[in-house]
Amino acid sequence: MKIDYYEKVFLILGVVMLLSGLTAILISVAGAGVMVPEPAGRIAPEEVRTTAPFDQPGVREISAGKYEAVIVAQIWSFSPNEIRVPAGSEVTFRVASTDVIHGFFIENTQVNAMIIPGQITEVTQDFDEPGEYLLICHEYCGIGHHNMWGRVIVE
């Protein structure tokens, strides 16, 4: 069987592209610790407000330097919409929606998740640098979507 020169070049190029893509994934997972957020639990949207810990949203210190931020997402706000932690904290966000799909994105961090009704979203992030981090819903969720934001204040 005769393989045309250009066909061979494209075949080799294809294999090289596949391998470099695979290498990039391996490096980001093993080296940089990049992960896909997993559902941390299930919760019916209509039961969010009456089920712990979402019946008492807010920030609590769970151990030295480690915080838990329980947040309820609803059209078109986060409750609470202001999270305050000292610099050097590790914050685990637990978020659930009472209605539609929302987004959960914190600028200049790796926090970028979906809040899917029926599901608890859990993401952990270290906040070493003091400052204000904008938190936004980055999934279109209706007419008031652009008003759905908050902030993480690192003191």
Decide: is 145 part of the binding site for ligand CUA (CB under 6 A): yes
Report d(CA 14, CA 42) in Å as an integer. 41
Decide: is 140 part of the binding site for ligand CUA (CB under 6 A): yes
In terms of CB distance, is 105 or 122 closer to ligand CUA? Answer: 105
Decide: is 102 part of the binding site for ligand CUA (CB under 6 A): yes
Report d(CA 72, CA 135) in Å as an integer. 13
**Residue of 93, 48, 90 lying closest to 70 (CA atoms):** 93
Site string for ligand CUA, 38-77 (x = CB under 6 A): --------------------------------------x-
User: Interacting stretch for ligand CUA, rule CB under 6 A, among 52-60, 86-94, 119-127, 136-144?
Assistant: 136-144
> Which residues does 53 contact at the CB level (< 8 Å), separation at least 6?
68, 70, 94
Question: Do the beta carbons of residue 65 and residue 90 sit within 8 Å?
Answer: yes
Residues that bind ligand CUA (CB under 6 A): 76, 102-103, 137, 139-141, 145, 148
